[in-house]
Structure 1
Amino acid sequence: MREKKLMDKTPIIFILIAISCIAIVFLFNRNIDKNLPTSLDFPTLFIYVEEEELVKLYQRDPLDDQRVEGSLKTSPQDKTAKKIELRFRGDSTRYLPKKSFNIRFQEGQDFLFGSNRMNLNASYTDPALMREKISMDMFKELGLPAPRVEYFNLYINNVYEGLYVHVERIDENLLKHLGMNDEGTLVRDSFAANLEKEEIGRASLFGYDLSNTEDPVTLLKENFSYRGNPHWQAVVDLAEWIYNTPAGEDFYMGFQERFYLEDFVDWLAIHLLIGDIDSFADDYWLYLDHHNSDAKWRIIPWDKDLTFGSTYRPQVYVDNHYFAYEYDFYEHSYRDNAMIIKFFQTPQLQEKLFKRMEYLMEEIFTLEYFVSKTIDLRGYIEDSLNVVPSKHAFVLHTQNHHGRLGKVEEHVETILEFVALRYQFIKRQIDPIEKSPVIVDLANYKEGDTIYFTDYKGWTIGKLLLKEIKEVGNVTLTVEHKEEMKGIDRLWSILPENADFIGELTLYYRNEIFAFGKQNWYEEEVATGRQWDLIMGYYRDGRVESISSKVNPYCNKITATLHIRDREEIVITHPE
């Protein structure tokens, strides 16, 4: 009888629980703006810190690693909050407005893949907030060891503070997930962080002469990050071999003995594809299962927000819109890392790398791959990207990233443009051509094809999406200095030879203030500025006839649809 009464009341109990949950969500949502991303389907964190402690955290030295106590919920319905300790994380990015957090829990968390640590990255330098995710997914796509990445909306004391990216901590939990011995050697070169020390003086261990060091193991312990109990002598042995072995046959044979070569080639190839060739100082971890005498070194990537054209500029720091893709294979310093330098200088290794890169560009990481990837990610995170500041959003900082709000399309397009232009540049690095005008034969193309006009150095002058071919023939595109032109001081010339076509023409200009781009064609030394007002125009008899066009200063390009059957001179300028 008692069981029957309980069963009779069960529906009422469920209804009351449901009403309570709805009330909690209503009370939570009532206090925040309607435009905030409150979907409970999207991973969300609610952190609570005493206001006094929060003020101290933001007012003290950003490099202070002392932790502040707080609590965390993953849903407003949670009855109990998890105790946490948090601090800022990162190096130079700690000085940016939107802070990244290192969060420590008392025990492992399921939503952190079992870890009790959380690396909550602000990704303030990435206006698309996709670069870290896409990069790490590329490594995993090839079966390489790499941390998992997850997005979270973050509320601090019930104020929305933006979209964050959690990058799995590289530790024993990750090793277990990857099926690797979690008691193996796991170390990270931190020479770059200690560059000012008299005994260091370089950004990488590899290339450092340890023979003059009285106690090399102690030197590494003091200037490396590490987990557990590494086999330090194995690290010393690797460093000494790299230092003492010249590039060439011996380096090739010895490298295969010490590293899983195919994995290393893929790791290096991805870095070159995404333009992260400034990462070779401290943005990777070395792993060796020293309990297995047959094991070889493996390498795990780290820190991929400054990729796909986004990078550091001395005058303007890391939160800038300068765009470059011409990172040279042969002239780059690779952050003093002799392991990478000698790899390139060894013909057998370079050949393997180049063949693999060509395959990856053509078969795996195609432009279509990145288009699909960005479409999926944009659909997932765009609501969060579009949140604007209000009294319930962005109190501790102003917005999700340093970029202009409402320009998600342009920010995503910049990633795709980087891939396309970077690939053209890489092809010239791998297979150089003689200096000559950029000429294409339309007979080799069909309607719907995209043609890149790339010079012998790998610089893409323009591209053409063919919409209609009326008559086939050769097409030449050139660009020359035009000092008197306001806006972009260049003149593009399209010279058809028996060709008649309609196409979407994109012209690329240089706007750079550092060694990679080497030139600045824009009239001011600013990343964007008045470039939003630039137009494309026919240059005829010293006058500009404007063409309906669209500009994207984030990737230094302007696009218009043209019908070309005769020679045309085209400029990019400000409207009069």
Structure 2
Amino acid sequence: MDEAVILPQYKLFIKPMDLRELRRDIWIDEPLPAQLTIDGKRLDIDIAYRGSHIRDFPKKSYQVSFYKPKSFRGSKHIHLNAEFKDPSLVRNKLSFDFFAELGVLSPQSRHIFLVQNGKAEGVYLEIEAVDENFIKRRNLPNGSIYYAVDGDANFSLMSDLDKETKKSLKLGYERKVGGPEDEYYLQEFIFNINTLSNSEFEKDIQKFVDVDKYLRWVAGVIFTSNYDGFVHNYALYRNGESRLFEIIPWDYDATWGRDVNGKIMEPDYVPIEGFNTLTARLLYVDTFRKQYRTLLEEIMEQQFTVEHMIPKVEKLTQLIRPSVNQDPYKKQNMDIFDQEISVITNYIEKRRTYLNRKIVKLE
């Protein structure tokens, strides 16, 4: 194991008064000015805490907006995730890379080491923002992007939060790219998911969503076991040329055998059929259900194996281990960090057993 590998170092400087203001109320989203030095280049930025329950953790996650210059390496924004509850610090990146391998649009990410006001804050995952630059970087057609911000992004007419009929079909979503006119397409999509008859659904739903890419995303959620993945933790991109929605994963640290609290997750915790309205309706159709089953079988043969995944886990953990040893929040638990490869191995083996048992029900 090469202990000499050093991660890119990001030096963050926040004026003491601004830092005090940032810490005064962790729930305020209003950004504050700061400076970030990357590869010797000093950048003026705006910074704010990010996430919901993760803001309570001692190691904070950040959203960075570039101010001067307005963009850096083609990005206006980046996210710096603390990965505090993940003992391995690699689950998020492992998941994003896994989705990309399945043919799903997925954020790019890399590990960095953050120093704040001269004090080591430790290993972070830098995650690409899903915005207009996400589209440009991939040479995709212009379109709209919506973030799923809470459980009401469940593709249903019923609220996941209060179990009543939604007052608006936009509930659960926040528009990041596009104009007000794009909200019509989002609402039309959700309305049709819920109102098309069974005989109409198979043909007409393909006018709204790229079914193959959607099923690939479902498979990604199923294999990684992201419990919140079906009603949260994703973004919707509507391709301006095909006029079809695609789905982009987000926040995948509670995966690969550990839940949102970092506890060991049972291998059958996330059902093979998933749980949102669009997935349920698709899997009710024989053609789509067979397509999904074939997809699962192919992925279980090619990608979701110990032989394929564990070398990737080993490579990531070897890359970050020297820096984890310098992380003030993690260095006292290096024994736990070193055991995570076996935790992920065990998860893959047991998850495969569960899926093999359940896949026959998809006939």
TM over 0.5: yes
3-state DSSP of counterpart to 1:269: helix
Establish whether residue 153 from structure 1 lines up as the match of residue 113 from structure 2.
Answer: yes
Change (3 A) 1:42 1:223: closer
Structure 1 residue 73: deviation in Å?
1.0
Establish whether residue 302 from structure 1 lines up as the match of residue 267 from structure 2.
Answer: no
- Between 1 and 2, higher relative CO (CA 8 Å, sep ≥ 6) is seen in 2
How far apart, CA to CA, are the structure 2 residues paired with 1:386 and 1:408? 10
User: Which residue matches 1:47?
Assistant: 12
Structure 1 residue 207: deviation in Å?
1.5
Change (3 A) 1:359 1:331: closer
Deviations 1:474-530 (A, max 9, x none): xxxxxxxxxxxxxxxxxxxxxxxxxxxxxxxxxxxxxxxxxxxxxxxxxxxxxxxxx
How far apart, CA to CA, are the structure 1 residues paired with 2:97 and 2:4? 27
RMSD: 2.6
1:266-277 superposed matches below 5 A: 266-277=216-227
Establish whether residue 327 from structure 1 lines up as the match of residue 269 from structure 2.
Answer: yes
Structure 1 residue 126: deviation in Å?
0.9
User: Which residue matches 2:94?
Assistant: 134
Change (3 A) 1:228 1:256: closer
Change (3 A) 1:140 1:330: closer
Change (3 A) 1:371 1:126: same
User: Which residue matches 1:244?
Assistant: 195
User: Which residue matches 1:431?
Assistant: 360
User: Which residue matches 2:25?
Assistant: 61
The structure that has the greater radius of gyration is 1
3-state DSSP of counterpart to 1:351: helix
3-state DSSP of counterpart to 1:127: coil
User: 1:285 touches 1:302 (CA, 8 Å); kept in 2?
Assistant: yes
User: 2:64 touches 2:80 (CA, 8 Å); kept in 1?
Assistant: yes
How far apart, CA to CA, are the structure 2 residues paired with 1:61 and 1:379? 37
Establish whether residue 91 from structure 1 lines up as the match of residue 40 from structure 2.
Answer: no
Establish whether residue 82 from structure 1 lines up as the match of residue 43 from structure 2.
Answer: yes
Structure 1 residue 366: deviation in Å?
2.1
How far apart, CA to CA, are the structure 2 residues paired with 1:342 and 1:221? 20
3-state DSSP of counterpart to 2:335: coil
3-state DSSP of counterpart to 1:307: coil
Change (3 A) 1:222 1:380: closer
Deviations 1:97-119 (A, max 9, x none): 21100111123554xx4112110
User: Which residue matches 1:166?
Assistant: 126
3-state DSSP of counterpart to 1:325: coil
How many residues in Structure 1 have an aligned counterpart in Structure 2? Answer: 352
How far apart, CA to CA, are the structure 1 residues paired with 2:166 and 2:14? 46
Of 362, 370, 378, the match for 2:301: 362
1:75-474 superposed matches below 5 A: 75=39, 78=40, 81-106=42-67, 107-110=69-72, 113-182=73-142, 184-192=143-151, 203-208=152-157, 216=168, 220=170, 223-229=173-179, 231-246=182-197, 248-290=198-240, 292=241, 294-312=242-260, 318=261, 320-329=262-271, 334=275, 337-387=276-326, 394=328, 399-400=329-330, 404-431=333-360
Please list every run of 5 or more consecutive structure 1 residues that lacks an aligned counterpart in the other structure: 1-36, 193-202, 313-317, 389-393, 433-576
How far apart, CA to CA, are the structure 1 residues paired with 2:148 and 2:249? 12
Deviations 1:72-106 (A, max 9, x none): 1124xx3x622111110011111112110011112
Change (3 A) 1:412 1:287: same
Deviations 1:179-200 (A, max 9, x none): 2123x121123343xxxxxxxx
How far apart, CA to CA, are the structure 2 residues paired with 1:224 and 1:413? 38
Over 4 Å off, 4+ runs: none
User: 1:119 touches 1:167 (CA, 8 Å); kept in 2?
Assistant: yes
How far apart, CA to CA, are the structure 1 residues paired with 2:265 and 2:158? 36
Structure 1 residue 159: deviation in Å?
1.0
User: Which residue matches 1:481?
Assistant: none
Change (3 A) 1:406 1:55: farther
User: 1:283 touches 1:302 (CA, 8 Å); kept in 2?
Assistant: yes
% identity of equivalent residues: 24
AA at the equivalent of 1:425: Y
Structure 1 residue 38: deviation in Å?
9.2
AA at the equivalent of 2:15: E
User: Which residue matches 2:162?
Assistant: none
3-state DSSP of counterpart to 1:406: helix
TM-score (normalizing by structure 2): 0.88
How far apart, CA to CA, are the structure 2 residues paired with 1:252 and 1:400? 50
How far apart, CA to CA, are the structure 2 residues paired with 1:63 and 1:268? 32
How far apart, CA to CA, are the structure 2 residues paired with 1:264 and 1:244? 19
Please list every run of 5 or more consecutive structure 2 residues that lacks an aligned counterpart in the other structure: 160-164
Change (3 A) 1:353 1:223: closer
Change (3 A) 1:213 1:364: closer
User: 2:154 touches 2:232 (CA, 8 Å); kept in 1?
Assistant: no
How far apart, CA to CA, are the structure 1 residues paired with 2:178 and 2:207? 25
Greater share of helix: 2
User: 1:206 touches 1:242 (CA, 8 Å); kept in 2?
Assistant: yes
AA at the equivalent of 1:405: M
Change (3 A) 1:430 1:331: closer
TM-score (normalizing by structure 1): 0.57
3-state DSSP of counterpart to 1:164: strand
Change (3 A) 1:44 1:260: same
How far apart, CA to CA, are the structure 2 residues paired with 1:138 and 1:47? 30
AA at the equivalent of 1:324: E
AA at the equivalent of 1:415: I
Structure 1 residue 380: deviation in Å?
0.7
Change (3 A) 1:330 1:298: closer
User: 1:209 touches 1:240 (CA, 8 Å); kept in 2?
Assistant: no
AA at the equivalent of 1:368: E
3-state DSSP of counterpart to 1:404: helix
User: 2:7 touches 2:320 (CA, 8 Å); kept in 1?
Assistant: no
